[in-house]
Amino acid sequence: MSRSTVLGYGARATGQLLERFTYEEPKLKDDEVRVAVSHCGVCHTDVHAIDNDFGVFSFPETAR
């Protein structure tokens, strides 16, 4: 079975806007299942996470 590409959105640094990105879906382990998500939302806690208001979040240091 071939792996497919996943579409996501994420902030790459504190306080940044969400950016669209894609990645190859990870290979599943024997005790894991894949769930297809068709819709999701953003709650205010997500905004706190993006702004790192609690000082406990980290962001990837990847090139754009």
Answer whether 8's CB lies under 8 Å from 25's CB.
no
Confidence band for 58, pLDDT divided at 50, 70 and 90:
confident
Answer whether 59's CB lies under 8 Å from 51's CB.
no
Per-residue pLDDT tens for 7-48? 889 898 999 999 999 999 989 999 999 998 889 898 999 999
Say which residue, 64 or 25, is predicted with more confidence. 25
Q: Which pLDDT belongs to residue 1?
A: 53
Q: Give Cβ neighbours of residue 1 (< 8 Å, ≥ 6 apart).
A: none
Q: Which pLDDT belongs to residue 60?
A: 73
Q: Which pLDDT belongs to residue 2?
A: 61
- Alpha-helical regions (H) of 6-54: 44-50
* Contacts by 42-45, CB closer than 8 A, 24 or more apart: none
